[in-house]
Amino acid sequence: MSTRAIRGAIQIEEDSVSAIRSGVVELLQEVLRSNALSIPDVISVILTATPDLISDFPAVGARDIGFGSVALLCASEINVAGALPRVIRVMLHCETDKSAGEITHVYLKGAQALRKDLAQ
């Protein structure tokens, strides 16, 4: 087993509790699915949100789907002029048998523009 970091992001439609929570759920579930992981494989998760997302903590969405015993941290992205709005990013640390080259990073919806080389 190796420790790996998996990146991802999703752009959500609006700044609301439901949009933030559902965006986090969609993003984390896809990271797990794409990398054949389950929650016990996860060591920690860092979630960031662009400064225009203020209605909820992204970690709440993670806890809603079973990440309650995982170390979670929320942070705000730096406010760069012209940056893509309403984006939630994740860096998930896990234990896996996959090599670094086998890891699938997940960029969903409008966030595909952030990493066209990795987007689904």
> Among residues 33, 63, 95, 102, which one is catalytic?
63
* Structural domains counted in the chain: 1
Residue 56 within a domain: yes
Two tokens at 17? 């509790």
Is position 74 annotated as part of the catalytic site? yes
> Between these two residues, 21 and 113, which has the higher pLDDT value?
21
Residue 120 within a domain: no
> Among residues 4, 21, 89, 94, which one is catalytic?
89
> Among residues 4, 7, 86, 95, which one is catalytic?
7
Structural contact between residues 10 and 109, judged by C-beta atoms closer than 8 angstroms: yes
Is position 86 annotated as part of the catalytic site? no
Residue 11: give the domain boundaries. Answer: 2-114
Two tokens at 54? 């203020």
DSSP string computed for 53-78: --SS-HHHHHHHTT-TTSEEEEEEPP
User: Taking the model in full, what pTM does it have?
Assistant: 0.94
C-alpha distances out from residue 25 to 10, 19, 81, 82, 88, Å: 10, 10, 28, 26, 11
Residue 114 has what DSSP assignment? G
For 53, half-sphere exposure in the C-beta direction (CA atoms, 13 angstrom radius) is: 30
CATH code for the domain of 86:
3.30.1330.40
Measured CA to CA, the distance from residue 59 to residue 5 in angstroms comes to: 18
pLDDT 10s digits, 7-57: 999 999 999 999 999 999 999 999 999 999 999 999 999 999 999 999 999
Residue 12 within a domain: yes
Residue 30 within a domain: yes
Is position 63 annotated as part of the catalytic site? yes
pLDDT 10s digits, 57-87: 999 999 999 999 999 999 999 999 999 999 9
